[in-house]
Copies of this chain bind each other. A is one copy, B any other.
């Protein structure tokens, strides 16, 4: 069924076909409804947006900038992390700088090299570990620490419905259900002084929808996927989910909607896992040492052995 007489550009899982203008309306309404439904943003906020320069984070920044124009009490800042991934991150950072310049948004860039002494590429030559694991630990570490230092009230990320579905199934397939208690559209309690609450405005938007919206607004990146991502477990779960979504439209919504029904139960069950602080760096940690300090120690030892 078509929305109107204009040429349709996208089909929704329920079968409706939308033209460009109706799709943009649909997409923006969905994001702003998600923000209200899950109480993601208050009336007075100093928001951060974790900006990679990719389509998802640019879309979030674009939409939150719109919101801030309507409400002067909502301030927007962008934070980018330069992990040091040769031939990839430099391009995405260029896109991020360009966008922030054009839209008059303050962009803060922090690099692994400056903060930890090594780029991700250099770390991976030393450590025997999965690239996405290492990269994620240090990125989340820096994003939280810098958000707090910048006195941001919340940090918005570009996670979409596909990302969430993948994480839900990955945790199930690896019997790591307590990690799922830390998923959802809003992560972290605002009361935890050390932990800046993270929000996901694209929580109910599929990858396909975000791609279409980004394309229509000139936000689509033309970089290849991160060189470390292709063979990951996540990529295999992603391909499987895309296959099911093609055969059974609506599968991804169903997975996330099922999850939203059990998320409060999971949060209740695993609430005893109180966030402590790392004995070394004083940042939030589930154990005595945080994961970043554990890997930094491994890196130090390996470098000393080589010397």
A interface residues (Cβ-Cβ under 8 A, vs B): 171-177, 233, 236, 240, 243-244, 247-248, 251, 253-255, 257-259, 261-262, 265-266, 268-269
Q: Report chain B residues within 8 Å CB of A172.
A: 254-255, 258-259
Complex: how many Å from CA A171 to CA B175?
Answer: 18
Complex: how many Å from CA A236 to CA B255?
Answer: 16
B254 touches A174 (CB 8 A): yes
Can you tell how many copies of this chain the complex includes? 2
A251 touches B177 (CB 8 A): no
7 closest residue pairs by CB, A with B: A175-B254, A265-B265, A177-B258, A172-B258, A175-B257, A173-B251, A177-B261
29 A-B pairs (CB sep. < 8 Å): A172-B254, A172-B255, A172-B258, A172-B259, A173-B244, A173-B248, A173-B254, A173-B255, A175-B253, A175-B254, A175-B255, A175-B257, A175-B258, A176-B258, A177-B258, A177-B261, A177-B262, A233-B248, A236-B244, A236-B247, A240-B240, A240-B244, A262-B265, A262-B266, A262-B269, A265-B265, A265-B266, A265-B268, A265-B269
A175 CB, min distance to chain B CBs, angstroms? 4
Complex: how many Å from CA A306 to CA B176?
Answer: 55
Q: Report chain B residues within 8 Å CB of A253.
A: 175
Please give me the residue from chain B that is nearest to A175 by CB atom.
B254
Complex: how many Å from CA A169 to CA B269?
Answer: 22
Complex: how many Å from CA A253 to CA B171?
Answer: 13
A262 CB, min distance to chain B CBs, angstroms? 6
Q: Report chain B residues within 8 Å CB of A251.
A: 173
A236 CB, min distance to chain B CBs, angstroms? 7
Complex: how many Å from CA A251 to CA B233?
Answer: 12
A266 CB, min distance to chain B CBs, angstroms? 7
A12 CB, min distance to chain B CBs, angstroms? 16
Please give me the residue from chain B that is nearest to A173 by CB atom.
B251
